[in-house]
Structure 1
Amino acid sequence: MKRAKGLTAALVGLVACAGLIGCAGPDAEANPHTAVPDRFTGQQLDWKACGAPTLDEVGAQCADVTVPVNYADPQGPTLTVAISRIAGTAPQRGVMLSNPGGPGGEGLDFMVAVAEAMTPEVRARYDLIGMDPRGVGRSSAVDCRWPVGFGLHSAGLDAVGFAESVAIQGDLAARCAATEGARLAHVTTRNTARDMDVIRGILGAEKISYFGTSYGTYLGAVYMQMFPSRSDRMVLDSAADPDEYGTVGMMRAMGPANEAALDLWADWVAARDGVYHFGTSRAQVRGAVQDLIRQAADKPIRLGEYEIDEHWLPVVLFVGLDSPDQYEMLAGQIRTIADAAAGKPAQPDDTLDSTLGFALQARPKDNSAQMAIMCGDVAAPRDPAFYLRNIEAARATQPVFAGFTNNITPCAFWTPPAEPATAVRNAVPAMIVQSTGDTRTTYAGAVALHDDLSASRLITLQDVPIHWIFGRYQNSCVYSAVNTYFLDGTLPADDRTCPAD
């Protein structure tokens, strides 16, 4: 059965304690191998200026934390985790750690944006801690030396396109294995949660509060499972279902959500046909987009220094559909690509140039850390036929995104995970914040996490297709709920639904 609730959940916990692993206390799951030596938990940090404008402007400081590569071998090799601190003026609640998602997202300056959504009273009470997780950014970073920047792309329109995907993804996985070696198996969410607890100890906090969005909600939930007695005020914004986390279940759930967002975007574009010239109805705009993808499959579209084919054009759409604030930007980008396809003079704007440069040229660097974390967390099916069946089954209802959200990934060629995936089932209080139209972490996933966290409350933003709310998308109801919880620890008596402002 998928979910254990109430008495069943309690029995599951009792059986686990009576089994071969045993239970040594409330945080027994955290370190199933060897206790973390004092040389990690007692290290003195060398705080200094971060050298990043967004952080330096708010007076943040940065430091490097040394942690084991493998917590089962704490005397073995080490790696560095980079953290930042924006000090509170009256930090009565101690520290608030954070993660911006991805996985693979650099988070040193993430709390700058989040702090802007906090009331002054909340902001004063915490030292806000940003972090580049292990394998990411300024931390000891994974660098698989990929020729592309992104481990996710569309399978295209037919078996030929899918065969190209299989070859590409197998090559990406092989590059990671060759360049990263044994360290790769330990760039995982469970080890990042252990890193967070080392950081907690170094900072002298008995517990941590936490704000995470997207993948950061999974990391937060894993920390709550591994370290329940050390979890304080936990806010999980745009939440992932921990049972579906990975490159299969979580990705497949994005298909219908992105098709629905594409409908809304097509309506917006159709109402502005005098500007974009894709048609005056949803069907006409969608038809123009699908024609453009077919054209890219026949012959890649040359735009400046880039060649955009059927594998990457859906990625441009996916990137642009995670907020209604981006509809105008996305419409302009697709108009530019369509002009290039028609042989008209066209150049990408700065945002599209950034997306294409990253995706097609790994510029300034690849995001192989994303696949390292996801593939290291959860095993994926290895048979290419599994993915092709899913793609073909979804094409009728997902004509644009079936090939993207069901495609094979490097995880199909990865070494199996070093540890089992974390089963999240606990009663640690938490606030889950979710929009009904989220295109990355779907609303159903947030409801599932809410079920798994039996003491949580769910704050729903109704009828807005936005991913990441607090700190990105102003809503007085959501912001009030989060700030109240961070201020005095008060969760609403019941779940709450917030209308759009």
Structure 2
Amino acid sequence: MRRAIVSAALAASMLAPGSAAAGDSGLNRFYDEALDWKPCGTADLDDAGAQCADVTVPLDYADPQGRTITVAISRLAATDPSRRRGIMLSNPGGPGGPGLDMQLFLRPDFTPDVLARYDLIGMDPRGVGRSTPIACRWPVAGLRSAGADAPDYAESVATQADLAQRCRNATGDALPHFTTRNTARDMDVIRAALGEQRINYFGGSYGTYLGAVFIQMFPERSDRMVLDSAVDPRRYGITMLRDMGPANEAALDAWAEWTAERDGEYRLGADRGRVRAAVAALIDRANRQPIRIGAHQVDDEVLPALIFDLVANPKTYGVLAAQMRQLTDAADGRPVQPSAELDEKLRGLLAGQPDDSQTWAIMCNDIPAPRDPLEYWNAIEASRSTQPVFGPFVNNIRPCAFWADPIEAPTLVRNASPALILQATGDTRTVYESGVALHRAMTGSRLITAPDQRIHGVFGKVPCPTAAVNAYLADGVLPEGDVTCETS
């Protein structure tokens, strides 16, 4: 019965506002709402001339007369009203990433022609930022490594089970409704409340999954869609995390080689093997005795997460090398005051951040995860020989193992809708193969490949894909075929 209700609500939510069926669904009051635009109350958005509003949406689209929540949006108007063609929503990733100000990061790389044509719409998705929040009050971050042995892993199992229970306790019956599919429905309400027939969209990382789900659910409401650093919808969730292991080990090799060339500065080893050995030794020392640095104690569950964050981009190689030097000195007993950047990162990893629980809540609500802790342990052990740093990290058990089953089945993305997909071959977060897979699932899309680039998020960083995005958004014409940019 529950599935029938959800299916009926979904069918109704895909109809145009004002149609008879949409009126019967009870959703018209959301589609037809008038928005109260105000200053955003933050210096960056207000200085840019943006305005903000709260959009009211149902918590549960199967019960539109029930509890409501709000989704915060912002708007930067098109620079030339005479040439305006519509709205462009955006999402920076996550899940759980706030995007109210994302257009400020996109705007410098859009051409004047694109800025003239679109109102740029930022959005904090449901559960995130200034929208009605998920507030699980986690005491630690959920993305942690499994440690060195079975007792360490047993602690991970207990920690992740506790994090899941905290979300249930804090959020109650509302928790299952913070999903990607419901965010896609919220986007359609935003579209209607703004008086538009279709949505243009720019999504990065997880935002590509959200965009693909929206296209699948609302193909007639999708216009020019750009998906940068794409998620494979078939592998979204725990499997997507496991896919990151080999790519991050390769990135760590590249970092180790870069660091070895600067051994006089960082003193971590004069060749790649010695730098890798220094990292392995540091993780082992953190296992035997947590490293005290400033107000923090860093163990082998936290240290790989710190490395994971910085190895993804060559521009942060120096930051990672400096932090490894600081932690090595601290492990040697030298008095070390952590840099401001390291101190802030460790606070987030050791004390938790609001958007950390939001990330896991949305993902766990979207996709069912394996329940058996032994399955994760076997994957961890199998990965150690080829992924010594990141195997125990990406294969570790997560809160999703202790989560309630999703209220809806995952979205099967398979369509011929047009879209522009950007992917770097060296991406450590959404690996290159995931962009290829999304392209195959969306047969009307075009894939722009940035070769020999170890970056996550291509637009604005690589000239060729950036130019392709601006051309597509300006004239609506996709390239005739897929494009592999020249190596830069």
Give the alignment's TM-score, normalised by structure 2: 0.95
Which residue, 209, 213, 230 being the options, matches 2:200?
209
Alpha-carbon deviation of 1:266? 0.6
Q: Give the match for residue 35 of structure 2.
A: 45
Q: Does the CA contact (< 8 Å) of 1:218 and 1:242 recur in 2?
A: yes
Distance 1:33 1:103, change over 3 A: farther
Q: Give the match for residue 74 of structure 1.
A: 64
Q: Does the CA contact (< 8 Å) of 1:102 and 1:370 recur in 2?
A: yes
Alpha-carbon deviation of 1:410? 0.2
Q: Give the match for residue 409 of structure 1.
A: 398
Counterparts of 1:56 and 1:332 in 2: how far apart (Å)? 36
Q: Does the CA contact (< 8 Å) of 1:303 and 1:337 recur in 2?
A: yes
Q: Is it true that 1:355 corresponds to 2:345 in the alignment?
A: yes
Q: Give the match for residue 234 of structure 2.
A: 243
Q: Does the CA contact (< 8 Å) of 2:90 and 2:203 recur in 1?
A: yes
Q: Give the match for residue 440 of structure 2.
A: 451
Counterparts of 1:427 and 1:180 in 2: how far apart (Å)? 38
Q: Does the CA contact (< 8 Å) of 2:450 and 2:484 recur in 1?
A: yes
Q: Give the match for residue 156 of structure 1.
A: 147
Q: Is it true that 1:482 corresponds to 2:469 in the alignment?
A: yes
Which residue, 71, 77, 82 being the options, matches 1:87?
77
Q: Does the CA contact (< 8 Å) of 2:247 and 2:427 recur in 1?
A: yes
Q: Is it true that 1:108 corresponds to 2:100 in the alignment?
A: yes
Alpha-carbon deviation of 1:280? 1.1
Alpha-carbon deviation of 1:145? 1.0
Q: Is it true that 1:309 corresponds to 2:299 in the alignment?
A: yes
SS at match of 2:128: coil
Counterparts of 1:138 and 1:203 in 2: how far apart (Å)? 19
- Offset from partner CA, 1:76-96 (integer Å, 9 cap, x none): 001110011111123522000
Counterparts of 2:126 and 2:136 in 1: how far apart (Å)? 15
Task: Map 1:88-237 to 2 at 5 A.
Answer: 88-90=78-80, 92-148=84-140, 150-237=141-228
Counterparts of 2:117 and 2:335 in 1: how far apart (Å)? 54
Counterparts of 1:252 and 1:310 in 2: how far apart (Å)? 19
Which residue, 364, 370, 382 being the options, matches 1:393?
382
Mean Cα deviation higher: 194-203 or 80-89: 80-89
Counterparts of 1:223 and 1:26 in 2: how far apart (Å)? 12
Which residue, 471, 476, 481 being the options, matches 1:494?
481
Counterparts of 1:89 and 1:35 in 2: how far apart (Å)? 37
Q: Does the CA contact (< 8 Å) of 1:36 and 1:71 recur in 2?
A: no
Q: Does the CA contact (< 8 Å) of 2:13 and 2:185 recur in 1?
A: no
Counterparts of 2:166 and 2:125 in 1: how far apart (Å)? 21
Alpha-carbon deviation of 1:33? 13
- Offset from partner CA, 1:323-343 (integer Å, 9 cap, x none): 111111111111111111111
Counterparts of 1:318 and 1:33 in 2: how far apart (Å)? 49
Q: Does the CA contact (< 8 Å) of 2:72 and 2:131 recur in 1?
A: yes
Alpha-carbon deviation of 1:34? 7.7
Q: Is it true that 1:299 corresponds to 2:289 in the alignment?
A: yes
Q: Does the CA contact (< 8 Å) of 1:96 and 1:126 recur in 2?
A: yes
SS at match of 1:154: coil
- Offset from partner CA, 1:107-147 (integer Å, 9 cap, x none): 01111111111011111110001111000010011011111
Distance 1:155 1:32, change over 3 A: farther
- Offset from partner CA, 1:250-302 (integer Å, 9 cap, x none): 00100001001001111110000000001111111000001000000001111
SS at match of 1:343: coil
Structure with the bigger percentage of helix: 2
Give the alignment's TM-score, normalised by structure 1: 0.92
Counterparts of 1:465 and 1:302 in 2: how far apart (Å)? 32
Distance 1:187 1:33, change over 3 A: farther
Would you say how many aligned residue pairs link Structure 1 and Structure 2? 477
Q: Is it true that 1:433 corresponds to 2:422 in the alignment?
A: yes
Q: Is it true that 1:62 corresponds to 2:49 in the alignment?
A: no
Alpha-carbon deviation of 1:348? 2.0
Q: Give the match for residue 16 of structure 1.
A: none
Alpha-carbon deviation of 1:313? 0.2
Alpha-carbon deviation of 1:53? 1.9
Output the amino acid matched with 2:439.
Answer: H
Counterparts of 2:26 and 2:485 in 1: how far apart (Å)? 43
Q: Does the CA contact (< 8 Å) of 1:462 and 1:497 recur in 2?
A: yes
- Offset from partner CA, 1:19-55 (integer Å, 9 cap, x none): x989979947x99998352221111111111111221
5+ residue gaps, structure 2, are: 1-6
Identical aligned residues as a percent: 57
SS at match of 2:406: coil
Mean Cα deviation higher: 344-353 or 132-141: 344-353
RMSD: 2.1
Q: Give the match for residue 366 of structure 2.
A: 377
Alpha-carbon deviation of 1:350? 2.1
Counterparts of 1:398 and 1:237 in 2: how far apart (Å)? 27
Q: Does the CA contact (< 8 Å) of 1:26 and 1:228 recur in 2?
A: no
Output the amino acid matched with 1:349.
Answer: S
5+ residue gaps, structure 1, are: 1-19
Distance 1:291 1:75, change over 3 A: same
Q: Give the match for residue 460 of structure 1.
A: 449
- Offset from partner CA, 1:436-475 (integer Å, 9 cap, x none): 000100000000000000000000110111001213x2x2
Q: Does the CA contact (< 8 Å) of 2:97 and 2:355 recur in 1?
A: no
Output the amino acid matched with 1:93.
Answer: R
Q: Give the match for residue 3 of structure 2.
A: none
Q: Does the CA contact (< 8 Å) of 1:71 and 1:191 recur in 2?
A: yes
Output the amino acid matched with 2:99.
Answer: G
Counterparts of 2:46 and 2:308 in 1: how far apart (Å)? 33
Output the amino acid matched with 2:399.
Answer: P
Counterparts of 1:500 and 1:59 in 2: how far apart (Å)? 38
SS at match of 1:195: helix
Counterparts of 1:36 and 1:232 in 2: how far apart (Å)? 26
Q: Does the CA contact (< 8 Å) of 1:459 and 1:497 recur in 2?
A: yes
- Offset from partner CA, 1:5-30 (integer Å, 9 cap, x none): xxxxxxxxxxxxxxx989979947x9
Counterparts of 2:482 and 2:337 in 1: how far apart (Å)? 47
Output the amino acid matched with 1:40.
Answer: F
- Offset from partner CA, 1:413-436 (integer Å, 9 cap, x none): 001000000000011100000100
